[in-house]
Amino acid sequence: MSLPLIDVHTHMYLPRYVALLRQRTRVPRIVSRAGGDRLVILPDEENDTSTSAGRPIGGEFHEVRRKLAFMDKHGIAVSVVSSANPWIDFVEPDEAPALAAQLNDDLEAICAASAGRLLGFGVLALQRPETCAAELKRIAGHPHMRGVIIGSAGRGRGLDDPDFEPIWKAAADGGLFVFIHPHYGVGQNLFPDTGHAMMLALGFTFETSIAVALLILRGVLERHPGLKLLIAHAGGTLPYLAGRLDSCVKNDISKDFGLPRPPSHYLRQCWYDSIAYHGPALAALTAFADPARIMFGTDHPFFRPHVADDVLDKTTWPAPEENLQALSSLSAEQQKAIAYANGLAAFAISLP
């Protein structure tokens, strides 16, 4: 497919953040090993001292030049770049608001210098929720920022945290997207010794599904109908399970959430990336979601191919390519909408 892609799910660890991870002695951190630097971020990697702990990390994670090289190789015209997990979740509460502001200014500067190729999602100091509305207002004044990315865990109390109400209001008032993305996973005790595969395939997606379902059940989207939520990884499992969620809520005599409409109504207000890697999953997503609210994503620079660094930028990455190929199971109109038309409209992008 030779459509001019808009990539709305693509990450960077900004240089200031990489420096911070290199200083740390606990997860999340970057460890220098004989075979190259390794990114050790997942919660269950804390006690793993083997040389295979973490994942290889090179310049593709933090150099703008390499992001642009990936985009050029894969036909991506514009990327809406977000910081990658676990963002600044681990930073001391007193230091987090200033760091968030610095990282947001760093990303704005990177995007401003990109000749229209890059836009950004900032970060928030969720450990100090009372500071976030002001930061969102500041971000709304940054011409290249389109919203924020936040983890599905919030500050460890989920996205139905009552202290997040000002965040939802400020994002809705500022017309900013909130991109909801997993990091901590769920159910790891059920799948020991499975590397990262089960965690990323199922732990991540159920983490997102649970967090968003709770946010909806506690009335966040009923109170903030203008809030623009972008849900990672094709909505986790939600487009597939929305009917079951509706039925279980409706037929549960033990709890009344007091919502005037079923959960699926609010799920249809959300935006989704198309990172599903599979025609049948995309069929569920496109049958469920608003057709104008599904947008292409790659999850770059994760799922890096196993090739030497000096040929990486010239290599087609299999995971994003499989994800793109899955779109070919859709109609031409759907492909165009997801590949770029929806992204252009949602993020007010003019193609460079």
Residue 127's binding partner out of ligand URA, Zn ion, none, with CB under 5 to 8 Å set by partner kind: none
Contact call for residue 184 and ligand URA (CB under 6 A): no
Taking a C-beta distance cutoff of 8 angstroms, is the pair 323, 278 a contact?
no
**Shortest gap between Cβ of 200 and Zn ion (angstroms)?**
10
Taking a C-beta distance cutoff of 8 angstroms, is the pair 297, 235 a contact?
no
Distance, in Å, from the CA atom of 196 to the CA atom of 240, rounded to the nearest integer, reads 23
**Shortest gap between Cβ of 13 and ligand URA (angstroms)?**
11
Which one, 88 or 101, has the nearer CB to ligand URA?
A: 88
228 φ, ψ (degrees, to nearest 5) = -100, 100
Binding to ligand URA by CB under 6 A, coded x per residue (else -) over 72-91, reads: ------------xx------
Contact call for residue 60 and ligand URA (CB under 6 A): no
Contact call for residue 299 and ligand URA (CB under 6 A): yes
**Per-position DSSP letters for 55-85, written without gaps between them:** EE--GGGT-HHHHHHHHHHTTEEEEEEEEPT
Instruction: Considering only residues 283 through 322, tell me which ones interact with Zn ion, judged by CB under 5 A.
Output: 299
> Would you give the end-to-end CA distance of the chain in angstroms?
20
Contact call for residue 323 and ligand URA (CB under 6 A): no
Contact call for residue 17 and ligand URA (CB under 6 A): no
Taking a C-beta distance cutoff of 8 angstroms, is the pair 35, 85 a contact?
no
Determine the Cα angle at 83 with ends 135 and 328, to 5°.
120
Instruction: Considering only residues 300 through 319, tell me which ones interact with ligand URA, judged by CB under 6 A.
Output: 302
Instruction: Considering only residues 195 through 224, tell me which ones interact with ligand URA, judged by CB under 6 A.
Output: 200
Which one, 114 or 298, has the nearer CB to ligand URA?
A: 298
Tell me how far the alpha carbon of residue 72 is from its chain's centroid.
21
Which one, 10 or 104, has the nearer CB to ligand URA?
A: 10
Distance, in Å, from the CA atom of 270 to the CA atom of 273, rounded to the nearest integer, reads 10
Using CB under 6 A, list all residues that contact ligand URA. Answer: 84-85, 200, 299, 302
